[in-house]
């Protein structure tokens, strides 16, 4: 496996997330009951500019944050500062699973001039104990559809705690780097690195980054995204 994931100290984050699902996931599911095609926050879209689509769940949508605090908005500002002329589209849906992603990826990719897809899905599959092989197939389907349209992909990984069982944990943790290797896409091993378990960087539910945490998450993404950008 090409990518080395820092497991020690990070697995406890996902364990904490599982403990707090009564607070975090139930709220996310309630938000998900609305229009599944409508992101939480969508920056103004300019058709003739190259687009980066932030495609994911509540971490992408900006759960508990204002639009200007969400990572897609912050990424847009970062790109402007660095001299990149991209339009960042927030296609995050709170509570979304990998299956939900397959059901709306075609609609997302229909937008004009999509050049990069930031794929951040799988955490809700874990929280609901959905089969890893099914999640992997769903993510593969999304990747294949994006690649068929010559869209570059940045795949964001997630971790699983020991409490899910050794076999499930191994399968889940390896699914993301395996997909990155198989499809030769850019890979961010852990989206919430330097954020997880830090009370000062997370909301009260202990799962979702607060405004300061979202800034760090944006920097994590930008580091992996930067080699994919063109000025």
Residues identified as active-site: 58, 205, 208
CA–CA distance, 23 with 5 (Å, rounded to integer): 28
d(CA 79, CA 49): 13
Q: Two tokens at 139?
A: 């993510």
Q: How far is 171 from 89, CA to CA, in rounded Å? A: 31
Reading the block at residue 172, the tokens are: 């889940």
61, HSE (Cβ side, Cα atoms, 13 Å): 20
| 47: DSSP letter | T
Contact 115, 80 (CB under 8 A): no
59 with 191: CB under 8 angstroms? yes
């Amino acid at each position: 496996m090409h990518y080395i994931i820092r497991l020690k100290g990070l697995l406890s984050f996902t364990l904490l997330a599982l403990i707090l699902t009564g607070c975090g996931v139930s709220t996310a599911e309630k938000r998900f009951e609305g229009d599944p095609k409508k992101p939480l926050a969508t920056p103004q879209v300019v058709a003739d500019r190259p687009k980066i689509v932030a495609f994911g769940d509540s971490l992408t949508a900006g759960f508990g944050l204002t639009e200007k605090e969400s990572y897609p908005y912050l990424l847009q500002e970062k790109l402007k500062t660095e001299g990149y002329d991209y339009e960042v589209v927030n296609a995050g849906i709170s509570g979304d699973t990998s299956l939900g992603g397959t059901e709306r990826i075609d609609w997302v990719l229909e937008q004009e001039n999509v050049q990069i897809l930031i794929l951040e899905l799988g955490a809700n599959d874990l929280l609901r104990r959905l089969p890893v092989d099914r999640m992997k197939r769903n993510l593969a389907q999304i990747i294949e559809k994006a690649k068929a349209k010559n869209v570059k992909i940045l795949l964001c990984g997630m971790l699983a705690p020991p409490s899910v069982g050794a076999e499930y944990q191994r399968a889940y943790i390896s699914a993301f780097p395996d997909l990155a290797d198989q499809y030769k896409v850019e890979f961010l091993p852990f989206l919430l690195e330097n954020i997880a378990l830090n009370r000062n960087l997370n909301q009260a539910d202990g799962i979702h980054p607060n405004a300061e945490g979202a800034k760090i998450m944006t920097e994590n993404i930008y580091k992996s995204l930067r080699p994919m950008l063109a000025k």
